[in-house]
Structure 1
């Protein structure tokens, strides 16, 4: 059977009674202090399940995740593969295409939400004809924190870069994707678009009004130093410390508390 026909058959079969409408897949390393907030936040905006791939973590992530695993919220996969991000996405799609209408491919330092406080699932209802929905990011810096502050991450970091520093991540239809990407993916039929139904091209101005991702790129400066040392799951190239700290200095240009306003509206 041609791949597009098979994908369409799978789509019809799954869309009648999916186990989950919206899930997320993420690979992580040494993220134990941040996992619980990330899961609870995304559960509050409509995500129903999380496929989490552990990539060489040595911290107490299992202790943090165990309650969520017991609740049926998290599927934990040990993934000891160098540069394992794309292979983790492929594995997740291969294993779970039957379960979910949508799988969001993004990271533990990225928080996806609707600025008007709507449930993300209800927003995605308008895009069921697309194989993927691209969500633009706002990049957040340290907000002047040298060490990690107490309290919720989303309350601590409120300073972000201007719209010239951005990228997008994709919520994919797992029956239609054949080549998942860190940012953009390739599909058997059609192309992913952003929430204004634009195909992503270089230099395009972001749209953050319908869905958006807050990318807490550095967190505190101490966290940024740890991020540099642990390396990247998408490339084997070592991280350049000078470049990272120079880039972070550009991420504290304007205050943006849209995520807090959305949480108040939703609450």
Structure 2
């Protein structure tokens, strides 16, 4: 027999199902990405090009106190109608930005991935992320495991794509996760990783309840280039974090970075070749110009 919470949530479940039917009849992207950023201009274009190449149909980007030339970088993407840019001068603004996007745009994409500019989403099993999302249509969300990648000893960022420059990561015993969700089913966002839903729960790519201690990297991955170069890591520490008011601890970050170079991992490189082609081997990215 349904419990009290089930009865209480029933109208919201019915509404979510009705909204899903409405979205199914609209021409909207299969996948949109939601991200908040601060001082990320050198990385935005590569990140956008990569994700467009793996099937992302729209980007909802929230500018959080940036002072660099991000507007110049994003201008052609906005002109193409692929980026919706929102200025978001909100302290500790990451979760409020996510909630704002869900309220405003929950009918504008079938799925939303909530990731950061230093994270690259891809499928090791398909050309595009959108090629595998149909397998999870009955769930409100799929969790994507996110290995941490380190500096690979680079003091300065090499003049090649991030995904080619940094190919050493932590052991998979130290891993994080982010969410690709059906935004109409999200009930609450308590942290940046996993959310609560009107019905159901986050599953892994094998259809099981999501378990952070049981990483699955078969159909979806989210490479987290946590350090980039050592100089970039120092900039990251000084920039602060949009998800917490606590200042970053430099000693802790550099100590943690040493563990993020333990194993070679080139699983993203075949996807990189398909997205950018062989030209990226010799061409510098905007970050290195």
TM-score normalised per structure 1: 0.96
Larger Rg: 2
CA contact (8 A) 1:137 1:167 kept: yes
Partner of 2:35: 26
Partner of 2:133: 124
* Structure-to-structure mapping, 1:1-267, within 5 angstroms: 2-180=11-189, 181-202=191-212, 204-264=213-273
Structure 2 unaligned blocks of 5 or more: 1-9, 278-289
CA contact (8 A) 1:117 1:265 kept: no
SS in 2 for 1:24: strand
Aligned length: 266
CA separation of 1:201/1:117 partners in 2, compared to 1, >3 Å: closer, same or farther?
closer
Higher mean C-alpha deviation, range 12-21 or range 59-68: 12-21
Whole-Å Cα distance in 1 between the matches of residues 273 and 126 of structure 2? 8
SS in 2 for 1:115: coil
Structure richer in helix, relative to its length: 2
Shift of 1:265: 5.8
Whole-Å Cα distance in 2 between the matches of residues 56 and 7 of structure 1? 34
CA contact (8 A) 1:18 1:98 kept: no
Whole-Å Cα distance in 1 between the matches of residues 95 and 272 of structure 2? 31
CA contact (8 A) 1:147 1:220 kept: yes
Give every structure 1 segment of 4 or more consecutive aligned residues whose post-TM-superposition deviation is greater than 3 Å.
263-267
CA contact (8 A) 1:31 1:108 kept: yes
Whole-Å Cα distance in 2 between the matches of residues 248 and 143 of structure 1? 10
Q: Deviations along 1:3-38, whole A, 9 cap, x unmatched?
A: 111111111111122421110000000000000000
Whole-Å Cα distance in 1 between the matches of residues 207 and 127 of structure 2? 19
